[in-house]
Amino acid sequence: RLEGPGPAGLLVSGPPVGVAFRNNRVARFAAGVSVTGKAADGDFGLTVAGNTFADLSAAGVRLDAGLSA
């Protein structure tokens, strides 16, 4: 159980490879999960499953670095 306020319940600042975020309750943050890191060579491994997001001001999952094609 993660309660804000704050910018994110989970901040992934490094490469999002092999990251799992499961079965949490996340409330009163700007974003439930914020990814600021970029994966090398287009690898992206983020699992977000079974979570409850409540009272978020921006997004459930926010990708600041974007996805490569």
> What are the tens digits of pLDDT across the range 15-36?
888 999 999 999 999 999 999 9
Report how far residue 25's alpha carbon sits from residue 14's, in angstroms, rounded to the nearest whole number.
23
Q: According to the model, what pLDDT value does residue 26 have?
A: 97
Give the tens place of pLDDT for each residue, 38-66. 877 777 889 999 999 999 999 999 988 76
Q: According to the model, what pLDDT value does residue 15 have?
A: 86
Q: According to the model, what pLDDT value does residue 39 have?
A: 76
Closest by CA to 43, choosing from 11, 14, 7, is: 14
Which of 26-54 are b and which e, b meaning 16 or more Cβ less than 10 Å from the residue's Cβ? bbebbbbbbbeebbeeeebebebeebebe
pTM: 0.86
